[in-house]
Every structure is written in C-alpha cells, then in structure tokens.
C-alpha cells in the first residue's frame, strides 16, 4: 500500500461513494413507511374518522357506537365544521376542518403540540403545524369568515395530527359559536380497531358503524389507509434515484477494485515470483493482494457510512416535518448491513485477480518480470501505423491492446462516469420541470388582481380535509386573496386590454365546487379567455379550449372511476354543469383533486386574477406600474411575477444528485489515473528509448493521451445512451412512488446538444484523469527512463 498510494486512494474513494449512496437509499426506504407507522402508534392514531349528522343521532348514541362497531378505543364525539378563515393580511386560507376538543390528548389521536399551547377559551385556535411560518405564527390572528362581523381568533398553538382528523382545533364551545345560523355543527368520532390493515377490514368496520346508527346519520368516513398511503409516498419518490446512484457506485467500485488489484498483479509478476521463491505459499500471496484492496476499502466504507448519514439528514428532515415530534435517523441495521455487503462485494472483486497471483508458477513469474506477453498487440501497431496521423499518436493508439483487461476497466470506468453525469443532468432537469409544471402562474409576466396586494406572503396551505400531505414532487399553491373591497372585474379587464404592451392575458378564479360522486367539496380553478398560458402539463388529453370541458388530475380519475372522455356533473353554488373530461393534468398539489374548467360554464363566478404576457421589448415592471396606477384606485393591484424556484425536497434531491454525480465522476477519473500510471510505469523503458531517438516532451504527452482520449470517447459513446435509458427507467418509478404518472414535459428533457456534450465529456474526463501521468512521462529524463530496465 505504501508503494501504491494512488491505487489505495482510488479504492478508498470508490468504496466511500458506493457505501454513502447505499446508506442514503436504505435510509429512504425505511423512511418511506417507518415514520408514519411510528407516529401513528405513538399518537394512537384513528383508524376511522367518522362524521355524523347531529339531527339524526345524539352524543350518547355515538358514544356507544364503538362497541357495536367492534372498536377497541374511541374518542368523541367532537363538534366539527368546515370553515375558510382569512389571515390578518386578508388572504383566504383553504377550507379547514375545525374540531372542538378540550385538549390534545385522549384515547385516540393524541395530538403533538409542535409549538405554543392548547386553546383554553373563546377567541383562541390551534392550527395544523404546516401553517406555521413568518406570515402566521403564535399570536397571529385570523378571521373566521368573509363577513365584517366574523369573529377574530388568536393562534395560540400549532399541532400535528398524523391521522389528519382535522386541520384546526378550538374548544367545543368555540366551535359551536362559529357555526352558521341554521347549520348545526357535525359530530366527529374517532375509532381504533384490532384489525384494520386491509381495505376489506376497514370496509367491514364502516358497514358495522353504518348499521349501528343508520345510513343517513353517517355523513362520511375517512380510513387511515388512505392517509398512510399518501404519507408513504412522501419519502418513497426519493428512493429510486438514490438506489440508482447506489448501484452505479457499487458497480464502479467493483470495476475499480478489480482493475487496481489486477494491475498490481500484472505489474508485480517478478515480485510475486521472488516471494514464492523465498517460501510464500499461494494462500499467503492471495491474502496479501486481497489485503491491499480490503484495507483501503475498509477505510472508505467507514467514511461512506458517515457521509451517507450526513447526506440522509436533509431528506429525512423533509419527511420528519410531516409527523411532528417523531425523530428520524438512519436505521441501525442500514449502518450494519450496507458496510457488510460492501465488504463482501469488494472482497470478491479483489479475490479473482488475487487468485491469479497465487496460482502463478514461480519460474513463470520470475521469467516474465515486468514484460507483457511476447507479441501481444503487434497487430494493433501494424494497423494503427497505416493511419494518416503522427507516429507518436498511432503508437499510443496501439498500446491499449497490450493490456486488454486494463483497457476494459478504464473504458467501463469512463462509461459509468458518463452514465452518472447523463442521468444526473436528466434528473435535475426533470425535477426543475416538475416545479415549473406545478406553478403555471409564474410563466406570466404580470399578475393583475381585483384586490389590493399585500406585502405579507400567505402561509402555505395544509393538506385538505381528509387529503394527503403533498408528495415530494409537489409545489404549493398560494392562498386565495380576499374579495373585500374588490374592484369590478370588468374594469380591471378593461385596464389590461387598454394597455398597449399587452400581448395576451387570461382571467382565473379560485373557488369550491361539488362533484357528483365525491362527498367533500373540491377546489376548482375557472378560466376565461385564452388559458393556454396557464395550462398544466398534460399526462393525456388536452387543456381546456372552451365551454363544457374540464381537466382533472390523476387522483380525481382514480377516486371517481372515470377516464378521459367521460362526463361529470359539477355544481358551483346554485349552478350545475355537465362537463366532459378532456384531459388528465399533472397536478400533485394539495389533495390531488383540483379541477380546471371554463368560467363561462358558471355565469355567477367572476375572475379575481388576470395573468398577462407583455409584448417583446416591453418592461414587465413598467407595465405593472402603469396598470397598478389604474386599478389601485378601484381596489385592485398589479405586480410582476418572479420565476418559479425549486423548493423543499426537490431542491434537496437536485443538490444530492449533483453531489453524488461529482463523486462518481471523480471515481471514474481516479480509475483512469490508476490505469495510466500503471501503463506509464510499465513502459518507462520504452519511453526512454523513444526519447533517445528524438521524441520531444510534447510528442510523449500525445503518445500517452492519444489512447486515453480514444477510450474516453468510446466510453462516452456507450455511457450517454445508458444514462438516457436509466433516466427513462427511474423517473417513471419515482412518479409512481409519488402517486402520479409523469407527463412528457417532465420525461423528455434532454436536448441533442446536451447529449453531444455529455458524450464528449467522456473524452474530457479521461484526459483529465491522464494529465498527471502524461506530464510525468513527458518530464522524465531519458537516462532515468533507460536505467529502469
């Protein structure tokens, strides 16, 4: 090891990268299920959350439903209602389920208070922890409705319910006081069962519950399996890409270790002969060469475990935020299994060439010395000599055929390095496309609203009632502005069309609708005008082009059992329209049920926002100032849009992909460096002869770099298609793990120029790895080279 410092470093770095990637992948596999399960059991989560009509059942009757339904524990009844509060900046939050509970504890669904305290009296409220942020913290106030006399509530705490039974909590008396006149609050009951692991078991529990109170008394029920499935998807989408990098690292470590030990055997034949001559047994020779690989590999494995734990922290923290006070860390068995498996793989990779060393006859090893087999590669020298290239270049191009195994190891190292780079470029481009696809408003230059803009940013919305937390491929929507003191949409529209810099625009309105077959209300975005600029990426079908059409996400189709081309009945306030599903949108935000339709289908709805594209050469800032000067006196406002940025786990995944790729590329470069060092040291006498007959240092450098460049170009030619194919394989798996199908806009992200540059990158990588030994060969004095014979 002391004489082979470069090879030692190569093995250590290769194994470190492979182990780090595998630890990250293993930790994410555990995080895909374990956090929810642990949090659910610790909080004694509700297997079934049921809402009852207070007019058809009493609290006393509900208290006895648990026994009749076969529940092992119950909590409630709690008064509950759905309301849409507004923050102090006037922004409307999504519809929230508000439950009246005397405290966070109980036999079922024990809430975790992330910050603050529990509501103790009138005028206090506790919100879901996903709301907490700079714009909404402890002591902030929210208004309980749109009316001027709506009660004002002070936020006193933020809590986490892993069961997602509600998104806001207050005292029972406060919930009753917030109920609209003539609309009594519903009653919420929470149940736990001994057998609740399958859909059939949960369906049977619901049927028993329905039988105990009557079908009309039960307004709706939510199974914990739906919540669990959505929560599991949060971390599951990160597993495929981490696994891909882990496998790439593992394969490269095998190639590197095999190449290093094989090279050590090939260049140390005379040394092996001497060791055998002085009494070393074949077994001792094998152990010696295996140890040359295992000692640095052991150091690399230890460093890889530490690095893998550090890299897993940001991804695990994204998952941890969903479950409150559930600490997440890399599972102990991952830190044991991965190093053990890596040690076995590296040991096997080193054993094959070591066995070759142990099997050599002493006389053959002493006779061979450092010389390659006689006649090897002569045909290549004759063929390359016919090429119309300088003789040092053709001489160099023939040398790889002298050691085909070593050449193959170098070729594979470059190829896999190019695979990693190609895959990473596609992955980061796809993740960027995901963020952009979920924020179509950012594509417009200017946003004109019918309400006065406020400098305070709205808090991000929590999951919808009964919905799922946003998956890692999600990009949140902003809360809907308050319509108080709103300008007349017709006047705002006229101000937009009157501006000479207007290229195109469309209006939109965020509202709630009812869809036949879905018990809860859904979020709908209604458009007027040419809405192509605000279209989501389409998985199938097309974006809305006129009346009578609706675009829905994948989860809507799954929930309703419909397909593109079917018709659904949508109701907005008192207006009902039958709309044909014309497209399946790529929308992973919220609960994945937001629909898109035309404003013309619901005459009572009016646009609250206009998204404007300005003409070429027109300043968006100047345009916004001009429109704002017109609409602000009316109650509206105009602002420029900032480009959509990557957020949350998408940014973490992109950064991690870049880091793992850099490590893989470095390992590939070290593999090239090791092979070229072995070649130049083995051929140092030949280089001395070439220098003695007049070869200049520049020609010596070209002799060394010529074969490396050719191998790098071939490696790039092989690696780019493989990386392209790997991206096409992994990205759909990530999408399915997140509960969606990825559209072509997310999958088809490679440009021809990118692929060409990545292919050339293989040659660049190989040359960079060979520069140091090439410089050493060029600078070696002729006499020094000749004396090494």
Gyration radius of the chain's alpha carbons: 34
Selection from 512, 515, 550, 508 nearest residue 529 by Cα: 508
At 146, the pLDDT band (50, 70, 90 cuts) reads low
Decide if pLDDT at 469 tops 90. Answer: no
Cis amide prior to 77 (ω within 30 degrees)? yes
Reduced to 3 states, what is the DSSP secondary structure of residue 671?
helix
Selection from 773, 501, 447 nearest residue 641 by Cα: 447
Task: Kindly give the residue spans of alpha helices, DSSP state H, lying in 43-179.
Answer: 59-63, 65-69, 172-178
78-129 per-position pLDDT tens digit: 998 888 787 776 666 777 889 999 999 889 999 888 889 999 988 999 998 8
Environment class of 148 (CB within 10 Å of its CB; exposed 0-12, middle 13-18, buried 19+)? exposed
Average pLDDT over the chain, rounded to whole?
A: 80
| φ, ψ dihedrals at 641, nearest 5° | -100, 140
User: Angle at Cα 297 formed by Cα 291 and Cα 300, nearest 5°?
Assistant: 150
Selection from 627, 555, 453 nearest residue 229 by Cα: 555
For residues 51 and 693, give the distance between their C-alpha atoms in angstroms, rounded to a whole number: 94
Q: How many residues does the chain have?
A: 789
At 633, the pLDDT band (50, 70, 90 cuts) reads confident
- 275's CB contacts (< 8 A; 6+ apart) are 285, 288
Decide if pLDDT at 629 tops 60. Answer: yes
Reduced to 3 states, what is the DSSP secondary structure of residue 587?
coil
Greater model confidence, 603 or 7:
603
672-683 per-position pLDDT tens digit: 887 888 778 777
Contact yes or no for 286/347 (Cβ under 8 A): no
Residue 264 corresponds to which tokens in the numbers above? Answer: 């050590």
Q: What is the pLDDT, as a whole number, of residue 481?
A: 39
For residues 64 and 502, give the distance between their C-alpha atoms in angstroms, rounded to a whole number: 65
Reduced to 3 states, what is the DSSP secondary structure of residue 290?
helix
52-92 per-position pLDDT tens digit: 888 888 888 888 888 888 899 999 899 988 887 877 766 66
Selection from 29, 172, 3, 12 nearest residue 99 by Cα: 172
Contact yes or no for 628/638 (Cβ under 8 A): yes
Residue 322 corresponds to which tokens in the numbers above? Answer: 């969903």
Beta bridge partners of 86: 92, 143
Measured from the Cβ of residue 277, the count of other Cβ atoms closer than 10 Å reads 12
724-749 per-position pLDDT tens digit: 999 999 888 888 877 778 888 888 89
Distances, alpha carbon 206 to alpha carbons 14, 109, 202, in Å: 55, 18, 6
Decide if pLDDT at 534 tops 90. Answer: no
Reduced to 3 states, what is the DSSP secondary structure of residue 471?
coil
Lowest mean pLDDT segment, chosen from 246-255, 597-606, 759-768 = 246-255
At 714, the pLDDT band (50, 70, 90 cuts) reads very high
Decide if pLDDT at 587 tops 60. Answer: yes
- 310's CB contacts (< 8 A; 6+ apart) are none
Q: What is the pLDDT, as a whole number, of residue 320?
A: 57
Lowest mean pLDDT segment, chosen from 43-57, 172-186, 474-488, 578-592 = 474-488
Selection from 493, 561, 486 nearest residue 528 by Cα: 493
Beta bridge partners of 572: 575
Q: What is the pLDDT, as a whole number, of residue 456?
A: 33
- C-alpha 743, offset from chain centre: 16
Lowest mean pLDDT segment, chosen from 220-224, 352-356, 457-461, 502-506 = 457-461
Q: For residue 638, give the H/E element and its range.
A: strand 637-640
User: Average pLDDT, stretch 640-662?
Assistant: 68
At 371, the pLDDT band (50, 70, 90 cuts) reads very low
Distances, alpha carbon 21 to alpha carbons 318, 466, 629, 664, 744, in Å: 18, 35, 55, 10, 28
For residues 26 and 31, give the distance between their C-alpha atoms in angstroms, rounded to a whole number: 9
For residues 73 and 121, give the distance between their C-alpha atoms in angstroms, rounded to a whole number: 27
- 59's CB contacts (< 8 A; 6+ apart) are 77, 187
For residues 730 and 431, give the distance between their C-alpha atoms in angstroms, rounded to a whole number: 12
Measured from the Cβ of residue 496, the count of other Cβ atoms closer than 10 Å reads 20
Read out DSSP for 348-387?
HHHHHHHHHHHHS-HHHHHHHTTPPPTTTTHHHHHHHTTS
Decide if pLDDT at 40 tops 60. Answer: yes
Q: For residue 338, give the H/E element and its range.
A: helix 332-359
- 73's CB contacts (< 8 A; 6+ apart) are 44, 66, 107, 108, 191, 192
| φ, ψ dihedrals at 653, nearest 5° | -65, -40
Reduced to 3 states, what is the DSSP secondary structure of residue 181?
coil
Q: Which pTM value belongs to this model?
A: 0.69
Distances, alpha carbon 18 to alpha carbons 1, 22, 252, 498, 659, in Å: 21, 6, 8, 61, 13
If you search the block for the tokens 């913290």, which residue do you land on?
A: 137
- C-alpha 280, offset from chain centre: 54
User: Average pLDDT, stretch 305-311?
Assistant: 85
Contact yes or no for 686/463 (Cβ under 8 A): no
- 168's CB contacts (< 8 A; 6+ apart) are 85, 96, 97, 98, 99, 125, 126, 127, 128
Q: What is the pLDDT, as a whole number, of residue 463?
A: 40
For residues 264 and 354, give the distance between their C-alpha atoms in angstroms, rounded to a whole number: 9
Selection from 165, 234, 233, 227 nearest residue 202 by Cα: 227
First vs last C-alpha separation in the chain: 23
Instruction: Write down the domain spans for the chain.
Output: 1-41+225-371, 48-192, 376-439+645-789, 443-640
Percent of the chain beyond pLDDT 70? 84
| φ, ψ dihedrals at 610, nearest 5° | -125, 125
Burial 160-176 (b: 16+ CB within 10 A, else e): bbbbbbbbbbbbbebbe
Residue 640 gets the label, from left (phi > 0), alpha (psi -120 to 50) or beta, of beta
Q: What is the pLDDT, as a whole number, of residue 119?
A: 93
Q: What is the pLDDT, as a whole number, of residue 789?
A: 52
């Amino acid at each position: 090891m002391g004489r082979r410092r470069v090879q030692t470093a190569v093995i250590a770095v290769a194994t470190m990268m492979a182990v780090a990637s595998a630890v990250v992948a293993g930790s994410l596999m555990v995080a895909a299920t374990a956090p929810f399960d642990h949090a659910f059991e610790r909080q004694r989560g509700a297997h079934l959350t049921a809402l009852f009509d207070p007019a058809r059942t009493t609290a006393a009757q509900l208290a006895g439903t648990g026994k009749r339904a076969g529940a092992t524990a119950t909590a409630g009844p709690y008064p509950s209602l759905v309301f849409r509060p507004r923050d102090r900046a006037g922004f409307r939050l999504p519809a929230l389920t508000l439950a009246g509970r005397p405290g966070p504890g109980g036999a079922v669904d024990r809430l975790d208070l992330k910050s603050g305290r529990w509501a103790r009296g009138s005028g206090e409220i506790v919100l879901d922890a996903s709301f907490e942020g700079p714009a909404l913290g402890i002591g902030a106030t929210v208004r309980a409705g749109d009316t001027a006399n709506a009660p004002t509530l002070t936020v006193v705490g933020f809590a986490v319910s892993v069961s997602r039974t509600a998104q806001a909590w207050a005292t029972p008396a406060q919930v009753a006081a917030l109920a609209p006149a003539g609309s009594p609050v519903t009653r919420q009951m929470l149940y736990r069962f001994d057998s609740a692991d399958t859909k059939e078991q949960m369906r049977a529990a619901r049927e028993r519950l329905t039988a105990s109170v009557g079908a009309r008394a039960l307004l709706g029920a939510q199974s914990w399996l739906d919540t669990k499935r959505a929560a599991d998807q949060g971390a599951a989408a990160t597993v495929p890409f981490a696994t891909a990098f882990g496998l790439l690292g593992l394969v490269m470590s095998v190639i590197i270790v095999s190449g290093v030990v094989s090279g050590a055997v090939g260049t140390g034949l005379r040394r092996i002969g001497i060791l055998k001559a002085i009494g070393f047994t074949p077994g001792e020779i094998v152990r010696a060469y295996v140890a040359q690989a295992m000692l640095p590999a052991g150091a690399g494995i230890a460093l890889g475990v530490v690095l893998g734990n550090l890299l897993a922290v940001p991804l695990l923290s994204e998952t941890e935020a969903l479950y409150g006070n559930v600490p997440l860390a890399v599972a102990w068995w991952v830190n044991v299994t991965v190093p053990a498996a890596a040690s076995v793989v590296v040991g096997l990779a080193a054993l094959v060439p070591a066995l070759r060393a142990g099997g050599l006859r002493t006389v053959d090893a002493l006779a061979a010395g450092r010389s390659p087999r006689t006649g090897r590669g002569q045909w290549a020298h004759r063929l390359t000599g016919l090429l119309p290239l300088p003789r040092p270049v053709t001489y160099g191009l023939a040398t790889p055929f002298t050691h085909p195994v070593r050449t193959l190891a170098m070729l594979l190292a470059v190829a896999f390095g190019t695979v990693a780079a190609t895959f990473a470029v596609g992955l980061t481009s796809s993740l960027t496309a995901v963020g952009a696809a979920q924020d179509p408003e950012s594509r417009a230059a200017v946003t004109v609203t019918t309400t006065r803009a406020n400098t305070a940013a709205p808090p991000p919305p929590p999951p919808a009632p009964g919905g799922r937390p946003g998956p890692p491929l999600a990009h949140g929507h902003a809360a809907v502005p308050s319509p108080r003191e709103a300008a007349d949409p017709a006047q705002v529209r006229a101000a937009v069309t009157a501006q000479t810099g207007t290229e195109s625009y469309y209006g939109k309105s965020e509202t709630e609708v009812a869809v036949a077959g879905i018990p809860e209300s859904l979020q709908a975005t209604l458009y007027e005008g040419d809405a192509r600029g605000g279209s989501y990426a389409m998985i199938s079908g097309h974006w809305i082009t006129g009346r009578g059409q609706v675009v829905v996400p994948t989860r809507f189709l799954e929930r309703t059992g419909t397909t593109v081309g079917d018709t659904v009945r949508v109701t907005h306030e008192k207006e009902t329209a039958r709309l044909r599903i014309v497209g399946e949108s790529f929308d992973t935000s919220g609960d994945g049920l937001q629909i898109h339709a035309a404003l013309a289908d619901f005459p009572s709805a009016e646009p609250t926002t206009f998204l404007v594209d300005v003409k070429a050469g027109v300043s968006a800032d100047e345009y916004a100032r001009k429109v704002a000067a017109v609409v602000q006196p009316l109650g509206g406002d105009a602002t420029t849009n900032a480009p959509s940025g990557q957020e949350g786990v998408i940014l973490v995944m992109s950064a991690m992909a870049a880091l793992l790729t850099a490590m893989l590329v470095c390992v590939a470069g070290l593999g090239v460096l090791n092979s070229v060092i072995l070649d130049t040291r083995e051929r140092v006498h030949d280089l001395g002869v070439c220098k003695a007959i007049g070869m200049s240092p520049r020609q010596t450098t070209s002799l060394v770099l010529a074969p490396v460049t050719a191998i790098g170009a071939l490696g790039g030619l092989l690696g780019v298609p493989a990386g392209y194919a790997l991206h096409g394989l992994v990205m759909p798996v990530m999408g399915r793990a997140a509960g969606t199908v990825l559209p072509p806009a997310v999958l088809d992200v490679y440009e021809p120029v990118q692929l060409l540059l990545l292919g050339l990158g293989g040659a660049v990588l190989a040359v960079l790895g060979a520069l140091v030994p090439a410089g050493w060969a060029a600078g070696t004095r002729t006499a020094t080279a000749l004396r090494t014979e």
